[in-house]
Amino acid sequence: MNEIIRCENITHYYGNKLIYKNINFDVEKGKILGLLGKNGTGKTTIINILNGYLTPTEGCCTIFGHDVRHQTPEDKARIGLLLEGHVQYTFFNVNQIERFYSRFYPNWNADAYYDLIKQLHIGEHQRISSMSCGQRSQVALGLLFAQDPELLILDDFSMGLDPGYRRLFIERLLEFVRNGNKTVFLTSHIIQDMEMLIDDCMVFDYGRVLLHKPTAEIMNTFCRYTFDSASEEIPPIVGLWHTARVGNQWETYSFQGEEMVRSLLNDYAIKNLVCHSHLSLEDAFIGLTGKY
Amino acid sequence: MEFFLSLSYKEWIKMRLFVAIVLALSLALLVYIYTDLAHQERMEGASLLVYKFITGYHVLNTFIKLPLIASLTLALSQFLPEMFNKRLKLTLHLPAHEYDIIGSMLMFGVLIYAAIMLLTYVALSITLSSFLPTEYVYIELMAFLLWAVAGLTVYGFTSAVCIEPTLHNKINIALIGISATVLSFWAEYVRATYLFPMTVVLAASGLLMSVYATSRFKRGIM
């Protein structure tokens, strides 16, 4: 079984509001999949579905081949969960929380936790409630490392972290994942963080999966084009994304090469077509989803 | 059993301050009862004190508040921190079946409550025995025990209100819980001991309501 996560025909409504219609995706073993999407496209909803905290209106997700609505204790032990905002039991102190979790997990590695905690220069008896958001994120990450799960599900891991802690989080996570052949499903609002972390990228739009491709492929082939045109309006064209006038120029995004883009825009008397390759993931995301 | 003990560690850390507060309240009430009885005995004499009991005086009526306050405090201290930032998701993600998890949490709460009531019961029996004949000590202690069982209704329904994910159902459960509590405490306050089985059924309903609310939380009902 190469797919750790498989979601098939997921449709979900909140009341009458459609969130997704028939979405399908897999996450292969050893891959880091980043889920991107604007606010309200259902990133946290899919995390809740994957953790069994929400039953989709239709469809089914499996993790390790088992329906997520009926996760066995053994499967739960194999999944590390980071909730949005690095939520943990703040009434514990640093030692107590380690002692608590260690009793539940057979592969518990206390050294992994304390190695990370030592670098934070915090006391063993400091309560989590008195820590900064960055310190709490490291405690949550240390607990995940100690649990040593096969799959990590991280919901908006960068929320509330300053750039230093975000970088620290990513570096440590990458080291842990690469050394242990772990699978990761994560979301984040800060797309530039994802760029150095994820193998595959899935972009949600309202109600559907817009794109699911390897990150390298997106960054190597997706380009922003600028051009001049006297046209007042250019309608949506298959193969071009979010064609719009910006100031005196037009811009569009495409996975196609320059010649193909030129031919797609042939009817609009374009001049000075320039391809801006090597987009950042954030630029590519804006190109795919639009600014609004 | 091992799972229950492991989970109990978290519950204890979370609740211990509030357990201490409830114990302190219990102690304060005991001191009050002792000084009140000692004062009445000194002022009116032991025989008049016993006569007051024969004619229907109940020294423990102040104590009816203890099971109510204790159960409410314990339920809130146990389940409000779980609902803050939806931490219950972390708890339900522990490697066990969700009914084992919520069952263990409720069992811990009930055991702590029972331990507090038992300690109070023992201290009360010692206090009352120094002033009253055995027959009246027995009557008063029976009343206290029945109130203690009625307190479990408050614990169960308060827990359910905390866990229930929708506001609409929270209100429904709260209204049912308040009615059940009033009925339980009224039955025991007027010493209608024949209604004791009803009190037990209401207490069990409250605890089952918490399990039901957990199942709704787990399914993500909004």
pTM, to two decimals = 0.88
| Residue A13 contacts B where some CB pair is shorter than 8 Å | no
Percent of chain B with pLDDT over 70: 96
Q: With an 8 Å Cβ cutoff, are B87 and A87 in contact?
A: yes
Tell me which residues of chain A, numbers 20 to 59, contact chain B at a CB-CB cutoff of 8 Å: 48, 51-55
Task: Give the DSSP letter of residue B195.
Answer: G
From the candidates A89, A96, A136, A139, which should be mutated to test the interface with B, based on the most B CB atoms within 10 A?
Answer: A89
Of the candidates B3, B85, B220, the beta carbon closest to that of A53 is on B220
The mean pLDDT value for B148-172 works out to: 95
The arrangement of strands across the sheet holding A200-205 comes to A79-82, A151-154, A183-187, A32-37, A200-205, A208-214
Q: With an 8 Å Cβ cutoff, are B13 and A91 in contact?
A: yes
Q: A-B interface: how many C-beta pairs under 8 angstroms?
A: 66
Selection from B72, B41, B75, B77 nearest residue B59 by Cα: B41
**How far away is chain B from the Cα of A73, in angstroms, using its nearest Cα?**
4
Q: With an 8 Å Cβ cutoff, are A76 and B81 in contact?
A: no
- Diameter of chain B measured on Cα atoms: 64
Inter-residue contact A139 to A97 (CB < 8 Å): yes
Angle at A136 between CA A131 and CA A140, to 5 degrees: 150
Tell me which residues of chain B, numbers 5 to 34, contact chain A at a CB-CB cutoff of 8 Å: 6, 9-10, 13-14
What per-residue confidence (pLDDT) applies to A291?
67
**How far away is chain B from the Cα of A74, in angstroms, using its nearest Cα?**
6
Res. B211 pLDDT band, cuts 50 70 90: very high
Where do we find the tokens 């005086």?
B57
- Please tell me the total number of residues recorded for chain A in this structure: 292
Q: What is the dihedral of CA A195, A201, A205, A208, to 10 degrees?
A: -170
| Residue A104 contacts B where some CB pair is shorter than 8 Å | yes
Of the candidates A55, A74, A89, the beta carbon closest to that of B220 is on A55
Q: pLDDT tens for residues A208-262?
A: 888 899 998 998 889 999 999 888 888 888 999 889 888 889 999 999 988 999 9
The mean pLDDT value for A36-55 works out to: 89
Q: Which two tokens stand for residue A199?
A: 């193998």
Q: How many CB atoms lie within 10 A of CB A48?
A: 20
Residue B11 has pLDDT above 90, yes or no: yes
Q: Which residues of B175-200 are buried (b: 16+ CB within 10 A; e: fewer)?
A: ebbeebbebbbebbbeeeeebbeebb
What per-residue confidence (pLDDT) applies to B221?
83
| Residue B80 contacts A where some CB pair is shorter than 8 Å | no
From the candidates B83, B90, B163, which should be mutated to test the interface with A, based on the most A CB atoms within 10 A?
Answer: B90
What per-residue confidence (pLDDT) applies to A165?
81
Res. B189 pLDDT band, cuts 50 70 90: low
ipTM for the whole complex: 0.86
Of the candidates A53, A73, A99, the beta carbon closest to that of B95 is on A73
Q: What are phi and psi of A152, to 5 degrees?
A: -110, 130
Residue of B nearest to A79 (CA): B93
Res. B191 pLDDT band, cuts 50 70 90: low
Q: pLDDT tens for residues A173-216?
A: 888 888 888 999 999 878 888 888 899 999 988 888 888 999 98
Q: pLDDT tens for residues B25-46?
A: 999 999 988 898 888 888 888 7
Where do we find the tokens 């993931």?
A281
| Residue A164 contacts B where some CB pair is shorter than 8 Å | no
